[in-house]
Structure 1
Amino acid sequence: MNPSELQDFLDAKVLQYNTLDFIESDPVQIPHLFSQKEDIEIAGFLSATIAWGNRKMIIKNSHKMMEFMGNSPYDFVMSHSENHLEGLASFVHRTFNGQDLIGFIKGLQHIYKNHNGLEAVFAKNLEANSTQKSISEFKKIFFEIDHLPRTQKHISDPMNNSAAKRINMYLRWMCRQDNMGVDLGIWKTIAPSKLSCPLDVHSGNVSRKLGLLHRKQNDAKALAELDNALRKLDPNDPVKYDFALFGLGVFEGL
């Protein structure tokens, strides 16, 4: 395919997969359960944090986290007691366990009490065409308080050459102005043009087959290469192509 044909092909796939039907089988359904801004962004953050492995299990365990918090995540984060935190100890999703979840609840409370909330922190340190530095700085702020060293591995750092797939997906959910109602777009301080495509095995393999990506590892350098290619297709909304790459990889087996 020449560049024009490739863009037409991917635009068609975005229209095919960026629909409300997508929500049924994706963890983006968790923040859609809520209407208050803080509930949406906390539910999304925690769900994105455990978004690796079997998608049904991701969704099941994300619902379980919400239930542990009485389905009022912001109220729980801000007003929990130690007894409430003890109730989280039994949680487990792969290598993310109850102690990690407790650490994340404390980190979130720190973000809201001392740094004006998740959106305000991510909106700092933005670069011209990237949120990757702001993700790295967010991780530093999140772990300013006492925490278990093991819990740090559950937030990726692009400055350590990570593709930071889950946080980039979370930012897509929060920032992308989606006319189809999948991405929530509740954050207005971060332009969708600055977002990066969530890069994982599926999107990486499809991108290589389509000639959008040549680097073999799915790391920060590969993400920068893919970003550059997608921004040429749509500089205002490059991460809409995540729907095309994901759909081609997961649903069509490209």
Structure 2
Amino acid sequence: MNKTELKEFLDAKVIQYNRPDFIESDPIQIPHLFNKKEDIEIAGFLTATIAWGNRKSIINNAKKMMALMDQSPYDFVINHQEQDLEALLPFVHRTFNGTDFITFIKSLQHIYNQHQGLESVFIEGIKNDSLQNSIHHFKKVFFEIDHLPRTQKHVSDPLKNSAAKRINMYLRWMVRTDNTGVDFGIWNNIKPSQLSCPLDVHSGNVARKLGLLTRKQNDGKALAELDKALRKLDSNDPVKYDFALFGLGVFEGF
């Protein structure tokens, strides 16, 4: 395929997968349970944090997280008492356990009380029109509170050559606006053009088969290469192609 054919092919796949019925099978369904901005962004962040492994298990465990917060994530984050946190201790999703969950709740409270919320922290760290430094800055702020070293592994750092798939996916959810109501577009101070594709095994394999990516590892360098290729296809909304790459990989075994 030449560049024009590739763009037409991927644009068609975006239309095929960037539609409301995508929500039913994707972890993005969890923040879609809420209407309030802070509930959406907290539910989205916690869901994205555990978004690795079996998708059914991710969705089930994210629903458990919401239940443990009485289906009111923002109210729980802001107003919880120490005894409320004890109920979170049995929670586990792969290597993310109840102690990690409690640290995340305390850190989110710190961010809303001291840093004007999640969106503000990400905005503070933007450099050179890239959100990768923004994610690095977010991790620093996130762990300003007392925490166990083990919990740090659950927030990736692109400046340590991580593709930061889960946070890039979360940022897509919050920033990107589409006409189909899948992504939320509730963060208006970050541009969709600044987003990076959530690079995982599925999107990486499809990108390599289509000639969008040559690097073999799914790391920060691969993400930079993929970003550059996708921006050539659409500089204003490059991560819309996440729907195409993911759909081709997961649903079509491309």
Matched with 2:55 is: 55
| Structure 2 equivalent of residue 79 of structure 1 | 79
Q: CA deviation at 1:124?
A: 1.4
Counterpart for residue 209 of structure 2:
209
Q: Determine the structure 2 residue equivalent to 1:110.
A: 110
Q: Which residue pairs with 1:18 in the alignment?
A: 18
Distance in 1 (CA, whole Å) between partners of 2:129 and 2:9 is 25
Give the letter for the 1:154 counterpart. Answer: H
* Counterpart AA for 2:118: L
What runs of 5+ residues in structure 1 fail to find an aligned partner?
Answer: none
Q: Which residue of 2 aligns with 1:146?
A: 146
Indicate the residue corresponding to 1:181 in structure 2. 181
d(CA) in 1 for partners of 2:130, 2:246: 21
User: Aligned partner of 2:45: which letter?
Assistant: F
Q: Which 10-residue stretch deviates more, 90-99 or 122-131?
A: 122-131
Mapping for residues 217-232 of structure 1, pairs under 5 Å: 217-232=217-232
Q: Secondary structure at the match of 1:38?
A: helix
Q: Which amino acid aligns with 1:211?
A: G
Superposition deviation, residue 129 in structure 1: 3.4
Verify: 1:122 aligned to 2:89, yes or no. Answer: no
Aligned residues: 254
For 2:178, what is the secondary structure of its paired residue?
A: coil
The letter for the 1-side match of 2:127 is E
Counterpart residue type for residue 210 of structure 1: L
TM-score normalised by structure 1 residue count: 0.99
Once the two structures are TM-superposed, the CA of residue 227 in structure 1 deviates from its matched residue by: 0.2
Aligned-partner Cα distance in 1 for 2:18–2:60: 22
SS state at 1:214 partner: coil
Looking at structure 2, the residues matched to 181 and 175 of structure 1 have their Cα atoms a distance apart, in angstroms, of 12
Equivalent-residue separation in structure 2 for 1:178 and 1:99 (angstroms): 36
SS in 2 for 1:246: helix
Q: Does 1:133 pair with 2:153?
A: no
Shift of 1:125: 2.1
Q: Quick one: distance in 2 between partners of 1:171 and 1:177? A: 11
**Matched residues in 1 for 2:236 and 2:30: separation?**
26
Question: Is the aligned partner of 1:164 residue 2:181?
Answer: no
> So what's the TM-score if we normalise by structure 2?
0.99
Give me the whole-angstrom Cα distance separating, in 2, the residues matched to 1:217 and 1:53. 18
For residues 147 and 227 of structure 1, the distance between their equivalents in structure 2, rounded to whole angstroms, comes to 33
AA in 1 matched with 2:224: A
- Structure 2 CA distance for aligned equivalents of residues 179 and 100 of structure 1: 36
Aligned with 2:124: secondary structure? coil
In 2, the alpha carbon distance for the partners of 1:177 and 1:59 equals: 23
Deviation string 1:181-203 (CA, Å, 9 cap, x unpaired) is: 10011000100000000000000
What is the rounded CA distance, in whole Å, between the counterparts of 2:130 and 2:165 in structure 1? 14
- Mapping 1:26-41, distance limit 5 Å: 26-41=26-41
1:184, 1:28 → 2: CA distance? 10
Could you tell me how far apart the structure 2 residues matched to 1:19 and 1:211 are?
26
Instruction: Give the CA deviation at 1:178.
Output: 1.1
Q: Once the two structures are superposed, what CA deviation does each residue of 1:47-81 show, in whole Å capped at 9, x if it has no partner?
A: 00000000000000000000000000000000101
Counterpart residue identity of residue 192, structure 1:
P
CA distance in 1, matches of 2:190, 2:166: 17
Deviant stretches of 4+, over 2 Å: none
Q: Tell me the distance in 1 between the aligned counterparts of 2:144 and 2:127.
A: 23
> 2:235 is matched by which residue type in structure 1?
P
AA partner of residue 199 (structure 2): L
Aligned-residue Cα RMSD (Å) equals 0.5
Equivalent position amino acid for 1:241 in 2: Y
Q: Any unmatched runs of 5+ in structure 2? A: none
Aligned 8 A contact 1:89 1:98 in 2: yes
Answer whether contact 1:128 1:194 (CA < 8 A) is retained. no
Cα displacement (A) at 1:38:
0.4
Amino acid at match of 1:137: H
Distance 2:71 2:26 in 1: 19
Partner Cα separation in structure 2 for residue 123 and residue 198 of structure 1: 19
